[in-house]
Amino acid sequence: MKKPSRKLILASPLCPGDLLTMTIAVESLHATYPGQYLTDVRTCCPDIWLNNPHITPIADDDPDATRIDMEYPQINRSNQTLINFASCYSEFLGEKLGRPLHATVNRPHIYLTEQEQGWMTMVQEHFTHGRKMPYGVLVAGSKCDYTIKQWPVESYQEVVDRTLGLLQWVQIGEAGHNHHRLQRCISVLGETTHRMLHRLVFHASIGLGPVTYLMHVCAAFEKPYVYLAGGREPVTWLSYPKMHTLHTIGALDCCRQNACWKSRVVPIGDGDPKDRQLCEYPVIGPMIPVARCMAMIQPDDVVRIIQRYATIPQAC
């Protein structure tokens, strides 16, 4: 007689980027122990899990279900050991289940139906009258909690200006976050649902920005991503096959040996403890203050990578 599958409810209150990385653990669990588990999730972003074949609805009060609050405590050792965020949830889940579990895939997974893949993109529908064109997707802002991730706005603008002959840029970002609207960009700031963003990236040529949700969406669809890292996080902590990391680890006293893991460039006075986790070398730029490690990344560095990919035909 076949043993019944064990029911798991995997929960997390974290932001979409973290949740998207959690899909790696779900993929790995079912690849490693096929047919042995039924999994459901409790997160703030159902769109990430839409059409995922490994998700089975399980009631909160199901007496046979085990709830696991997903975490990645390995981050606390990321400066000392070779740890990649992509594998952390899998290892944590294995520990909770008391079974060996390691990441079996190297990227997150988003499942778009054939119908979704065939829909006209936002760019075609609203800006090009149905005409296809190569485009990149960028995030040029940051959240208030981690302003240290911000690259100079004027540097983003320079990259846009210097690459417009190669591709069109589409600027995304969540309403309520800190975003300066760039010129000569198609702006959909505050206008995309998660699923709309997924489809937008699916048809894009490349992504650009700091460590953020867009990075993980690009990885899910195997799109190149230019990651503006600076010196905040270890180089080994975040890595996907088609990601280009521009970092400054080893270039400044504050990140000479290790990443700094600081939160903000300057205090913003909102009472958050992150106001005490400040950059040691803030640069007061013409538009907004940024960390020196981010200011050290030059538009030339980014443009060269974009030029490398712009010559490769991409689906739109």
Residues 177, 88 within the same domain: no
- Give how many domains the chain has, as a whole number: 2
> The tokens of 193 are what?
């649902």
Is residue 220 in a domain? Answer: yes
Q: 88 and 141, same structural domain?
A: no
Q: Do 68 and 143 fall into the same domain?
A: no
- Sign for the CA dihedral angle at 285, 264, 209, 224 comes to positive
117 is a domain residue: no
| Distance (Å) of CA 213 to CA 15, 16, 233, 289 | 8, 6, 16, 22
pTM here? 0.94
Q: How far apart are CA 215 and CA 17, in angstroms?
A: 8
The reply to whether 153 and 290 lie within a common domain is yes
Query: Residues 207, 305: one domain?
Result: yes
Report in angstroms the alpha-carbon separations of 274 from 62, 72, 144, 265: 39, 20, 10, 10
Percent residues over pLDDT 70 in the chain: 97
Per-residue pLDDT of the chain (316 residues), as tens digits, is 466 789 999 999 999 999 999 999 999 999 999 999 999 999 999 999 999 999 999 999 999 999 999 999 999 999 999 999 999 999 999 999 999 999 999 999 999 999 999 998 888 887 887 888 899 999 999 888 899 999 999 999 999 999 998 999 999 998 888 899 999 999 999 999 999 999 999 999 999 999 999 999 999 999 999 999 999 999 999 999 999 999 999 999 999 999 999 999 999 999 999 999 999 999 998 889 999 999 999 999 999 999 998 755 444 4
CB atoms within 10 A of CB 127: 16
**Predicted confidence (pLDDT) per residue in 153-204, tens digit:** 999 999 999 999 899 999 999 888 889 999 999 999 999 999 999 999 999 9
Domain span at 278: 129-310
CA distance 36 to 6: 6
